[in-house]
C-alpha cells in the first residue's frame, strides 16, 4: 500500500523536465566557466510543472508568445541574493517560427534600498550576450519596468535568459549573505516572442514532426478521423496509432480529439485511419493524396489505392501518406490506410514499430510485407528500478553532475521504483552515493547533504583539504520513505578555506560531483496487489507492464458511439504517455461480439461503453466488486452474508470506472470505463486527457468521476486483492543475484554428493 501513497502522475514527468532544466543550467554554467566568469548562481531548475504551464502560456496574438516568469518556472518571481548571484531560464524557438524584431524582455524589478549605487548592477543576458546593464540606484528601488529588445539573430533553438546581479552594501567588511543584499525579478516580468509561422514540407522522414515539436510551447493538438463503423482490424490499427502517439508525446502536453467535422475544416494536425470505404474522409481527400485512389477521382465505384504507375495495390499492402493540410499553414494530415482493413493494420504496425518506422522517406510508403514486432521485454521500464539487484543511476538514464561554488545548485536525480516491486516488512533500501569534491574547501563548514523526497537523510562532512575522488557513502532508506516516484537531491555546501568576511575570498575553485555510478538497491519481491485503479497512475500498471501492450485487448460495444471512441482516444493516449516501447505496439481492439476467446482468456481487457450497451458486463456480474444498480442509481458491493458492505449513490452524468480481476485468467484484470450518458463518458475521457485529474487518481478499485475534477473523484475501499506477478501466467522464477548464487552452489554440492554416493559408497 505504501507504494500507492502520495504518488501523482505528474511527478514521473516532473523529473524528466527538471533534468532538462538542470542540464540546461549546468550547460550554461559550464560555458560561463569556460569564459572565465565567476558564476555564483543560486539558479534553481524550473519547476516540474513548467511544461504544463508553458503550454498554457497566454498567446497575445496569433504571432506573439508571451512567457511569464511562471511559465519559465518561477511563479512568484525570483530574488537574487548574496553579493553575486545569477538566475537562468531556458526558452525555446519552435522549428517553424521566424522570430520578429520586436521580440523583447519586459522586465519588472526592484531591489534593496541598502545597495551602493556605484557598486551594484543587474545584467540581463541572452545566450552569452549582455543585452542591458542596469545600475541599482535610488531611482529603481521600487518596482521598475524596463523593456529590453532581443535581436532575433542571437536566438537559437534553445536559449538561456539570464539575470545576473553584482551587489554590495559596504566597502568594508561585507557579509556576502547579508539580508540587505537582494534584487527581485518580479512575476510581472514577461518574455514577448513575436514571430511568423513558416510553411513546412511534408516529409515522413521527420515524422512525428510536426505533430510533436520539442521546442513548441503549445499542446500538440491532434484530430483523429476514426469513424464508428471500423472493422476490428482497422480499429486495432487506430488503437496502435493512439498508443504510439501517446508514447511519442510522453511528457509533452497533447490534446487528442475525435474529428466531429470535415477534416479540412479543422485547422489542426490530423490523422485519418481506415480504408477509403470505411472512412469517407479519406475518400474526400483523394484529390490531395500523393498516392491516387482509383475510383475516387474518375467516377468508378472501386476505391482502390494504386502505386504511382497505376497498378492496384495488393489486399494486404498498407499505405501511409503525409500531406500538407490544404487549409492550415504548418499543419499536416497523416493517412493510415490500405485497400483492406488488413492493409490498414499493416500500415499502422509499420508506423508504430521502432526502428523500422525510421525507414520512411518522402510523402508516402507502401508496406508490402510485415510481421509482428519483436516484443519489448516484460517490465522493461526505462528509468525505473526493476529488480532487487543494484541499479545504478546510469541504468536509470542519469548523467554524472557537477555543482559549483558557494551557492552551488542542488543536483537532482530521480529513482523511480516499479509499482510491482513489493517491499515487504521493514527492510531498508540502500542508496550508495559515489561523489568527488574539490581541494581547499573549509572542512569545518563544507558538507554534502543528501535528501530523499525533500527529507534530509544524511550529511557528509567534506573535510579532506586535498579533496576526494569517487568517495563512497551508503545511506539506508527506510521502506516507508521509498515510493514509486522518488527524487534524490544532493546539496553541496562549499566554503573556501579560512572563510572571513573581512578578507578576500573566492570560490571559483570549489565544486562537487555526484557520479552516475551511484546506485540504489531495493530489497523487494516482484508482485502487485490487484485490482487497484491507483496503479494506473503509477505508469499505467498493469496494462503497460508489457510496454508494447502485447497482452491488452480493448473492447468496444458492437455499435460504438463517437463518445465511446472519444474515451478510447483519451485512454489509449494516456497509456501511451505512461509507457515506452522500443519495439512495436501490440494492443488489439475489438467490438465485443468479435472478441476472440483467446484474447478474452489471455489478455487484460479494457471495456468502454455505456451501461447496458456492453454485454460483457453481464458475464462479469458475479465478479464485479461493486455492482451497478440502474434502478436505484447506485453502485454497491455484492451482498456478503446478507448485508451490503458499501453503497454509493451516483448520478447519470457521473463516469464510472472499475477494475476487477479477470474471471478467465488469474493474472489478468478487466478495466471497465462506463457511464449512463454521453456526459458521463466525456468526463471519463477528460479524466484521461487532463494531467491534473489523472494525477489525482488514487488507490481503490472503483472511481466515480464528476465534472469538477479531482476532488469529485470518490473512491471506495479495495475489495478482494490478489498479488499478480507473472506474465501470461507463466512467469519465471525471480531471484536476486545472491539467490541464484546460492541455488547454483547447492546444485553443485548436490551433484558432488550424488557422484560421491554413486562412486564412493
Partner 1 sequence: MNITLQKRFLWLFSLLIVAFQLVWSCFGCGWITVAPAVAATKAVSLTFFDIEDVILLPTVSSQRVIPFTVPKTWQLQSGSKLQVQFQHSDALIPGSHLRILINEQPVKTIPLTHNNAGKTVVDIPLPIAKLREHNTLAFQVEQHYTHKCEDPLDASLWTQVLGESRLTFQYNTKPPVADLSQFPYPVVDPTDYSPSKVHYLLPASPALQDIQAMAYLNTHLAQFAHDHEVSADITLGNSPQKLPGGQTHLMVIGTPAQNKHVKMLLTPQSPYRVENGQWIHGKTKTVVSDETGLVFYALNPKNPHQLVTVVTGNTPQGVFKAAQYLTALPRTDAFKGGFLSVNPSWSPPTSAINSAAPYIEFDSRMFSELGFSTQTVQSINAPPITYEIPVVTKIDGKNANLTLSLQYSYSPELNPRFSSLELRLNDRSIANIPLTNPKGEKSLSQNIQLPAELLQPQNNLVAQFHLMPDKYGYCVDTYKDDTWGTIHESSAVLVGGQPTPRLPDIGLLNKTGFPYTRFSNFQSTTMALPQDPQQVTLKTLLATTTRLGRSRVGDSPLQLKVVQAQQNLPTEGDVIVFYNPAANEENMRPSVNGPGYSLSWPELGIKQYNQPDGLDWRIQDVGTGGYLAQGLLPNNNRIVSYFWSTNSPTLSHISNFLNHDRYFEMLTSGGLKQLPPVGYQLNSILSQGEQTPAGWPWWGIALTALAVFLIAGVVGQRLGGK
Contact 166, 83 (CB under 8 A): yes
CB of 438 to partner 1, least distance (A): 4
Write the DSSP assignment of 378-442 as a string of letters: TT--TTEE-SSS-EETTTTTPPPEEEESTTPPPEEEE-EE-TTEE--TTPPEEEEEEEEE-SSB-
Q: Please compute, for residue 283, the number of CA atoms within 13 A of its CA located in the half-sphere on the CB side.
A: 18
Rule CB under 8 A: is residue 177 a binding residue for partner 1? no
Rule CB under 8 A: is residue 214 a binding residue for partner 1? no
Which residue from 62, 199, 733, 760 is in contact with partner 1, where contact means CB under 8 A? 760
Contact 150, 18 (CB under 8 A): no
* Nearest to partner 1 of 185, 614 (CB atom): 185
Rule CB under 8 A: is residue 742 a binding residue for partner 1? no
- Interatomic CA distance for residues 387 and 420, integer angstroms: 10
- Interatomic CA distance for residues 475 and 433, integer angstroms: 8
Q: Are strands 447-452 and 78-81 parallel, antiparallel or unpaired?
A: unpaired
* Nearest to partner 1 of 371, 711 (CB atom): 371
Q: What residues between 510 and 549 interact with partner 1 by CB under 8 A? A: 511-513, 515-517
* Residue appearing with cell numbers 541574493: 81
Which cell goes with 423?
517491499
Rule CB under 8 A: is residue 750 a binding residue for partner 1? no
- Interatomic CA distance for residues 528 and 721, integer angstroms: 9
* Nearest to partner 1 of 130, 480 (CB atom): 130
Contact 167, 183 (CB under 8 A): yes
Rule CB under 8 A: is residue 35 a binding residue for partner 1? yes
Q: Which of 78, 8, 117, 5 is nearest to 481 (CA)?
A: 5
Rule CB under 8 A: is residue 166 a binding residue for partner 1? yes
CB of 276 to partner 1, least distance (A): 19
CB of 511 to partner 1, least distance (A): 4
Rule CB under 8 A: is residue 466 a binding residue for partner 1? yes
Tell me if the bond preceding 542 is cis, omega within 30° of 0. Answer: yes
Q: What residues between 568 and 607 interact with partner 1 by CB under 8 A? A: none
Beta-carbon contacts of 226 under 8 Å, excluding residues fewer than 6 positions away, are 235, 238, 258, 273, 274, 279, 565, 569
How close are the terminal C-alpha atoms of the chain, in Å? 55
Rule CB under 8 A: is residue 732 a binding residue for partner 1? no
* Nearest to partner 1 of 203, 277 (CB atom): 203
Q: What residues between 342 and 361 interact with partner 1 by CB under 8 A? A: 350, 353, 355-356, 358-361
Mask: binding to partner 1, 623-642, rule CB under 8 A, as x and -?
--------------------
Q: Which of 712, 597, 669, 226 is nearest to 420 (CA)?
A: 669
- Interatomic CA distance for residues 738 and 88, integer angstroms: 47
Which cell goes with 368?
508490402
Mask: binding to partner 1, 362-401, rule CB under 8 A, as x and -?
xxxxxxxxxxxxx-------------------x-----xx
CB of 257 to partner 1, least distance (A): 29
DSSP letter at 373? P
Write the DSSP assignment of 282-298 as a string of letters: HHHTGGG-SS-EETTTT
SS3 122: strand
Stretch that binds partner 1, among 1-9, 234-242, 508-516, 645-653 (CB under 8 A): 508-516
Q: What residues between 57 and 96 interact with partner 1 by CB under 8 A? A: 84
- Interatomic CA distance for residues 736 and 421, integer angstroms: 12
CB of 218 to partner 1, least distance (A): 22
Rule CB under 8 A: is residue 757 a binding residue for partner 1? no
Rule CB under 8 A: is residue 328 a binding residue for partner 1? no
Q: What residues between 658 and 717 interact with partner 1 by CB under 8 A? A: none
Q: What residues between 91 and 150 interact with partner 1 by CB under 8 A? A: 118-119, 121, 123, 127-130, 133, 135
272 phi and psi angles, rounded to 5 deg: -110, 130
Which residue from 288, 458, 509, 610 is in contact with partner 1, where contact means CB under 8 A? 509
Whole-Å CA distances, 76 to 125, 186, 394, 396 = 21, 7, 34, 32
* Nearest to partner 1 of 466, 618 (CB atom): 466
Rule CB under 8 A: is residue 440 a binding residue for partner 1? yes
Whole-Å CA distances, 500 to 40, 61, 174 = 18, 54, 9
* Nearest to partner 1 of 649, 756 (CB atom): 756
Rule CB under 8 A: is residue 610 a binding residue for partner 1? no
Stretch that binds partner 1, among 45-53, 456-464, 724-732, 753-761 (CB under 8 A): 753-761
CB of 620 to partner 1, least distance (A): 35
* Nearest to partner 1 of 118, 720 (CB atom): 118
Q: Please compute, for residue 2, the number of CA atoms within 13 A of its CA located in the half-sphere on the CB side.
A: 15
* Nearest to partner 1 of 123, 677 (CB atom): 123
Rule CB under 8 A: is residue 316 a binding residue for partner 1? no
Tell me if the bond preceding 210 is cis, omega within 30° of 0. Answer: yes
Rule CB under 8 A: is residue 754 a binding residue for partner 1? no
Stretch that binds partner 1, among 30-38, 220-228, 477-485, 570-578 (CB under 8 A): 30-38
CB of 572 to partner 1, least distance (A): 24
For CA atoms 343, 348, 354, 356, give the dihedral sign.
Answer: positive
CB of 365 to partner 1, least distance (A): 5
Q: What residues between 186 and 205 interact with partner 1 by CB under 8 A? A: 201, 203-205
CB of 181 to partner 1, least distance (A): 13
Contact 390, 357 (CB under 8 A): no
CB of 494 to partner 1, least distance (A): 11
Whole-Å CA distances, 105 to 94, 142, 491, 719 = 18, 19, 32, 56
Which residue from 506, 559, 594, 708 is in contact with partner 1, where contact means CB under 8 A? 506
Which cell goes with 717?
475501499
Contact 548, 563 (CB under 8 A): no
* Nearest to partner 1 of 274, 512 (CB atom): 512
* Nearest to partner 1 of 367, 716 (CB atom): 367
* Nearest to partner 1 of 65, 518 (CB atom): 518
Contact 635, 627 (CB under 8 A): yes
For residue 47, the surrounding DSSP H or E stretch is none
Stretch that binds partner 1, among 41-49, 459-467, 551-559, 658-666 (CB under 8 A): 459-467
* Nearest to partner 1 of 106, 400 (CB atom): 400
Stretch that binds partner 1, among 24-32, 642-650, 661-669, 717-725 (CB under 8 A): 24-32
Beta-carbon contacts of 551 under 8 Å, excluding residues fewer than 6 positions away, are 545, 602, 603, 604, 668, 727, 728
Stretch that binds partner 1, among 279-287, 502-510, 540-548, 694-702 (CB under 8 A): 502-510
Rule CB under 8 A: is residue 745 a binding residue for partner 1? yes
CB of 658 to partner 1, least distance (A): 37
Q: What residues between 215 and 254 interact with partner 1 by CB under 8 A? A: none
Amino acid at each position: 500500500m505504501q507504494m500507492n501513497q502520495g504518488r501523482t502522475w505528474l511527478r514521473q514527468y516532473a523529473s524528466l523536465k527538471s533534468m532538462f532544466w538542470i542540464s540546461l543550467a549546468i550547460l550554461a554554467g559550464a560555458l560561463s566557466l569556460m569564459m572565465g566568469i565567476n558564476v555564483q548562481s543560486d539558479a534553481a531548475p524550473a519547476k516540474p510543472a513548467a511544461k504544463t504551464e508553458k503550454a498554457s502560456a497566454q498567446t497575445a496574438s496569433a504571432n506573439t508568445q508571451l512567457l511569464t516568469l511562471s511559465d519559465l518556472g518561477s511563479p512568484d518571481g525570483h530574488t537574487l541574493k548574496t553579493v553575486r548571484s545569477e538566475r537562468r531560464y531556458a526558452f525555446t524557438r519552435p522549428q517553424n517560427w521566424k522570430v520578429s524584431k520586436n521580440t523583447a524582455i519586459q522586465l519588472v524589478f526592484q531591489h534593496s534600498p541598502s545597495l551602493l549605487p556605484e557598486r551594484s548592477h543587474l545584467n540581463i543576458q541572452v545566450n552569452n550576450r549582455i543585452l542591458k546593464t542596469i545600475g541599482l540606484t535610488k531611482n529603481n528601488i521600487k518596482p521598475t519596468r524596463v523593456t529590453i529588445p532581443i535581436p532575433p539573430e542571437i536566438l537559437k533553438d534553445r536559449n538561456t535568459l539570464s539575470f545576473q546581479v553584482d551587489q554590495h552594501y559596504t566597502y568594508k567588511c561585507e557579509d556576502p549573505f547579508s539580508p540587505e543584499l537582494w534584487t527581485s525579478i518580479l512575476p510581472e516580468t514577461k518574455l514577448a516572442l513575436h514571430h511568423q509561422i513558416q510553411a513546412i514540407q511534408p516529409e515522413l522522414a521527420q515524422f512525428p514532426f510536426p505533430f510533436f515539436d520539442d521546442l513548441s510551447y503549445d499542446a500538440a493538438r491532434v484530430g483523429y478521423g476514426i469513424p464508428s463503423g471500423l472493422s476490428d482490424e482497422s480499429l486495432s490499427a487506430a488503437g496502435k496509432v493512439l498508443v504510439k502517439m501517446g508514447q511519442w508525446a510522453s511528457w509533452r502536453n497533447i490534446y487528442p480529439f475525435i474529428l466531429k467535422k470535415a477534416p479540412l475544416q479543422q485547422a489542426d494536425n490530423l490523422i485519418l485511419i481506415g480504408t477509403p470505404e470505411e472512412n469517407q474522409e479519406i475518400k474526400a481527400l483523394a484529390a490531395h493524396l500523393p498516392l491516387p485512389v482509383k475510383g475516387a477521382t474518375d467516377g468508378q465505384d472501386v476505391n482502390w489505392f494504386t502505386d504511382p504507375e497505376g497498378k492496384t495495390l495488393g489486399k494486404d499492402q498498407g499505405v501511409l501518406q503525409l500531406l500538407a493540410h490544404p487549409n492550415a499553414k504548418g499543419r499536416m494530415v497523416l493517412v493510415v490506410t490500405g485497400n483492406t482493413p488488413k492493409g490498414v493494420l499493416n500500415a499502422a504496425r509499420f508506423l508504430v514499430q521502432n526502428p523500422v518506422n525510421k525507414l520512411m522517406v518522402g510523402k508516402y510508403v507502401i508496406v508490402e510485407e510485415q510481421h509482428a514486432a519483436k516484443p519489448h521485454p516484460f517490465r522493461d521500464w526505462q528509468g525505473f528500478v526493476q529488480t532487487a539487484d543494484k541499479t545504478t543511476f546510469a541504468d536509470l538514464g542519469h548523467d554524472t553532475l557537477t555543482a559549483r561554488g558557494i551557492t552551488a545548485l542542488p543536483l537532482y536525480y530521480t529513482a523511480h521504483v516499479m509499482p510491482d516491486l513489493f517491499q515487504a516488512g521493514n527492510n531498508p533500501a540502500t542508496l550508495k552515493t559515489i561523489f568527488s569534491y574539490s581541494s581547499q574547501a573549509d572542512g569545518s563548514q563544507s558538507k554534502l547533504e543528501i535528501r530523499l523526497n525533500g527529507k534530509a537523510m544524511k550529511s557528509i562532512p567534506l573535510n579532506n583539504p586535498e579533496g576526494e575522488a569517487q568517495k563512497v557513502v551508503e545511506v539506508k532508506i527506510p521502506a516507508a520513505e521509498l515510493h514509486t516516484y522518488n527524487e534524490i537531491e544532493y546539496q553541496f555546501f562549499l566554503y573556501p578555506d579560512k572563510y572571513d568576511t573581512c578578507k578576500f575570498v573566492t570560490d571559483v575553485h570549489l565544486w562537487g560531483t555526484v557520479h552516475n555510478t551511484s546506485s540504489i538497491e531495493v530489497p523487494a519481491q516482484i508482485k502487485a496487489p490487484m485490482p487497484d485503479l491507483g496503479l494506473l497512475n503509477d505508469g499505467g500498471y498493469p496494462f503497460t507492464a508489457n510496454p508494447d501492450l502485447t497482452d491488452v485487448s480493448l473492447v468496444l460495444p458492437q455499435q460504438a458511439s463517437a463518445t465511446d471512441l472519444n474515451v478510447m482516444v483519451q485512454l489509449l493516449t494516456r497509456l501511451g504517455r505512461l509507457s515506452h516501447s522500443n519495439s512495436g505496439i501490440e494492443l488489439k481492439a475489438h467490438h465485443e461480439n468479435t472478441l476472440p476467446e483467446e484474447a478474452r482468456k489471455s489478455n487484460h481487457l479494457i471495456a468502454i461503453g455505456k451501461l447496458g450497451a456492453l454485454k460483457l458486463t453481464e458475464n462479469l456480474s458475479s465478479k464485479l466488486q461493486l455492482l451497478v444498480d440502474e434502478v436505484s442509481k447506485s453502485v454497491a458491493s455484492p451482498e456478503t452474508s446478507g448485508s451490503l458492505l458499501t453503497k454509493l449513490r451516483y448520478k447519470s452524468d457521473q463516469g464510472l470506472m472499475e477494475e476487477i480481476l479477470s474471471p478467465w485468467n488469474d493474472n489478468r484484470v478487466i478495466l471497465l470505463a462506463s457511464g449512463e450518458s454521453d456526459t458521463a463518458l466525456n468526463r471519463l475521457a477528460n479524466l484521461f486527457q487532463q494531467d491534473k485529474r489523472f494525477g489525482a487518481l488514487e488507490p481503490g478499485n472503483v472511481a466515480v468521476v464528476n465534472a469538477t475534477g479531482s476532488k469529485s473523484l470518490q473512491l471506495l475501499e479495495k475489495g478482494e486483492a490478489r498479488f499478480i506477478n507473472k506474465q501470461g501466467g507463466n512467469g519465471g522464477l525471480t531471484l536476486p543475484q545472491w539467490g541464484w548464487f546460492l541455488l547454483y552452489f547447492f546444485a553443485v554440492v548436490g551433484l558432488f554428493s550424488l557422484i560421491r554416493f554413486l562412486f564412493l559408497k
